[in-house]
């Protein structure tokens, strides 16, 4: 196919019908539209890889939009991201780099990403992780996070171990399984239920949802490292590189 035909086809696929005639765009009549439709169909059948290129371009554009929204959201919501009193941190509370993680106890990717955090904390004694409970996977998740909030309030010194045990478990996290984990750490069920009744975390969850909406979060895990959003379970190496970049140039990507 001639270069001009390829260019014209690409323009049409993108939704732009342009016919060069006397330096102006001319509308197509019904017959011309039919002919053009047949041409596009023939072109796509002969060159299906074009659709892959279009899909790649769309995904790239969408990702750029997500990154832009998240970056703007981070700048506008730093207090809520880094200094919410109801959040629990693990690692060095005075660490020079803070990583914020939004997670759900029933998120499979979060379960796999738990080892990334553990490895970073074992290797780097100057990092702090802030854990933002973000129950988005149904009623069981909401109930499990409600128990976690009670653990935070009644036995904050045991929260980190509770978190590791519940998130690291293979079974689905529920109110019952969360209470069982807490009980195994010596926290009485009666104490938890009294705290859950007196201090439900509904307002905290709503605040986290609002923050997530501002950041454009569509799933978990989601990280904030310095000024940068990190979508998904990217692994120990990428997170470690971003931590090193913060120290080297003040940004997650130098």
Both 125 and 242 in one domain: the answer is: yes
pLDDT > 70 fraction of the chain, expressed in percent and rounded: 90
Both 39 and 98 in one domain: the answer is: no
Both 116 and 182 in one domain: the answer is: yes
The pLDDT of residue 26? 60
Q: E strands along 44-96, which residues? A: 88-91
Domain annotation covers residue 81: no
Q: E strands along 73-133, which residues? A: 88-91, 97-103, 127-133
* Domain with 238 in it: 87-249
Domain annotation covers residue 12: yes
Domain annotation covers residue 116: yes
Domain edge (last residue) among 52, 75, 98: 75
Domain annotation covers residue 24: yes
The pLDDT of residue 52? 86
- 140-159 pLDDT, tens per residue? 999 999 999 999 999 999 99
User: Rounded distance, CA 222 to CA 134, Å?
Assistant: 10
**Domain containing residue 236: CATH number:** 3.40.30.10
- 51-64 pLDDT, tens per residue? 888 887 777 777 77
Domain edge (last residue) among 49, 75, 101: 75
Domain edge (last residue) among 75, 107, 126: 75
CB 13 within 8 A of CB 54: yes
CB 169 within 8 A of CB 136: no
Both 132 and 236 in one domain: the answer is: yes
DSSP secondary structure letter of residue 172? P
The pLDDT of residue 19? 46
Both 126 and 224 in one domain: the answer is: yes
Domain annotation covers residue 108: yes
DSSP secondary structure letter of residue 170? S
Both 243 and 194 in one domain: the answer is: yes
Q: Binning pLDDT at 50, 70 and 90, where does residue 245 land?
A: very high
Both 9 and 99 in one domain: the answer is: no
Both 191 and 239 in one domain: the answer is: yes
Q: Binning pLDDT at 50, 70 and 90, where does residue 24 land?
A: very low
Domain annotation covers residue 228: yes
pTM of this prediction? Answer: 0.75
Q: Binning pLDDT at 50, 70 and 90, where does residue 95 land?
A: very high
CB 150 within 8 A of CB 195: yes
Both 229 and 205 in one domain: the answer is: yes
Question: Is residue 251's pLDDT more than 60?
Answer: yes
Cα 193 to Cα 41, 58, 175, 196, 239: the distances in Å are 64, 48, 10, 5, 37
- Report, as an integer, the average pLDDT of 119-140: 96
Domain annotation covers residue 82: no
CB 220 within 8 A of CB 109: yes
Both 56 and 96 in one domain: the answer is: no
Q: Any bridge partners for residue 98, and if so which?
A: 128
User: How many domains are there within the chain?
Assistant: 2
Domain annotation covers residue 105: yes
Q: Which residue has the higher pLDDT, 8 or 194?
A: 194
């Amino acid at each position: 196919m001639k270069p001009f035909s390829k260019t014209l086809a690409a323009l049409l696929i993108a939704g732009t019908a342009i016919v060069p005639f006397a330096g102006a765009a001319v509308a197509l009549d019904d017959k011309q539209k039919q002919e053009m439709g047949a041409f596009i169909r023939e072109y796509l059948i002969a060159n299906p890889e074009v659709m892959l290129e279009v899909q790649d371009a769309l995904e790239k554009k969408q990702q750029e939009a997500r990154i832009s929204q998240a970056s703007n959201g981070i700048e506008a919501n730093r207090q809520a991201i880094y200094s919410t009193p109801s959040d629990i941190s693990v690692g060095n509370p005075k660490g020079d780099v803070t990583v914020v993680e939004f997670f759900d106890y029933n998120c499979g990717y979060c379960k796999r990403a738990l080892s990334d955090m553990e490895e970073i904390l074992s290797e780097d004694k100057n990092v702090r992780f802030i854990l933002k409970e973000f129950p988005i996977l149904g009623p069981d998740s909401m109930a499990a996070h409600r128990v976690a909030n009670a653990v935070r309030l009644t036995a904050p010194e045991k929260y980190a171990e509770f978190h590791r045990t519940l998130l690291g478990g293979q079974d689905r996290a529920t109110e019952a399984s969360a209470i069982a984990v807490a009980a195994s750490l010596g926290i009485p069920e009666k104490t938890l239920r009294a705290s859950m009744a007196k201090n439900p975390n509904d307002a905290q969850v709503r605040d986290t949802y609002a923050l997530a909406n501002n950041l454009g979060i569509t799933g978990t895990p989601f990280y904030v490292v310095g000024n940068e959003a990190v979508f998904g379970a990217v692994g120990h190496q990428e997170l470690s590189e971003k931590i090193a970049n913060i120290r080297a140039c003040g940004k997650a990507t130098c």
